[in-house]
Amino acid sequence: MAVECEINVDDAAPAHGQTIVVTYAVNGNDPIDPQQATISGVVVVGGQDNVVTTTITLPGTPAASVSYGQPTCPGLTFVATANPAVFTAVIP
């Protein structure tokens, strides 16, 4: 799945003194589905080979790590929030 990233602001035309909220969104960074695998081996009993197998489910590939840079805009100072994908700024 392709990864799509975007940044959104809650008000595209804010007034003086208003606080805007900027939020990053990342879509398509899901882990790859788990895969079933077969483990096989040989047990030798009295000179006779006996093939044995079992199946396991291997975990999927983990999603890539995501971090967010502080947004920039001339005249605005962005502040991080408890959510690493969300920043705020007061409009002067």
Residues 20 and 40 in one domain: no
pLDDT value of position 1: 62
Same domain, 50 and 36: yes
Give CA–CA dist 73/79, Å, rounded. Answer: 12
User: Residue 26: what pLDDT?
Assistant: 94
Pair 41, 24 in one domain? no
What is the residue range of 18's domain? 1-29+64-92
Based on the domain organization, do 43 and 53 belong to the same domain?
Answer: yes
**In terms of domains, do 36 and 14 share one?**
no
Angstrom distance (rounded) from CA 39 to CA 42 = 11
36 and 25 in a single domain? The answer is no
Are 78 and 91 in the same domain?
yes
Domain count, the chain: 2
Per-residue pLDDT tens digits of the chain, which is 92 residues long? 689 999 999 999 999 999 999 999 999 998 888 889 999 999 999 999 999 999 999 988 888 999 999 999 999 999 999 999 999 999 99
